[in-house]
Amino acid sequence: MANVAPPKRPYLLRAMHQWISDCGNTPHVIVDAERAGSEIPKAYIKEGKIVLNLSPSATQRLKLGNEDIEFDARFSGVVHHVRFPVSSVMGIYARETGEGMVFSDQDLGPEPPRPTPTEEGAAAPRARPQLKVVK
């Protein structure tokens, strides 16, 4: 049995959080607040989503885990414990610049299975990787 790779999203999220912070910017996440397992103050949810500041000055005891993100934060002066699944994070960005990353469902699970061998027993040819310049 082959090893199944863990989801990419928690690793990408931690890397982007660190990069945004290292650049001196404020990391914000957009969260699908209606996802099961979310513990988010309901009064601050708009259209099923919430934007949360994950900077060290806005959170206490921040844990960016593989399954969940949790921290304590003040909302209108009242401390709330916030917890939500990593799968509910739709994107992360720097408040000051807007630079960041939007996540897709592919970041949640194992890669799609590789093509199966053809009827002749030979492996299907792989497409050659291509890079594009993004400005």
Residue 64 lies in a domain: yes
List, for residues 54-87, the tens digit of each pLDDT value.
999 999 999 999 999 999 999 999 999 999 999 9
Q: Give the H or E element holding residue 9.
A: helix 9-22
Residue 114 lies in a domain: no
What's this model's pTM, rounded to 2 decimal places? 0.75
The boundaries of the domain holding residue 38 are 27-102
d(CA 105, CA 107): 5
> How many domains would you assign to the chain?
1
List, for residues 14-23, the tens digit of each pLDDT value.
999 999 999 9
Three-state DSSP at 42 gives helix
**CATH code of residue 85:** 2.30.30.220
CB 103 within 8 A of CB 91: yes
What does DSSP say about strands 60-64 and 68-75: parallel, antiparallel, or unpaired?
A: antiparallel
Residue 112 lies in a domain: no
27-31, 40-44, 67-71, 130-134: which range is least confident on average? 130-134
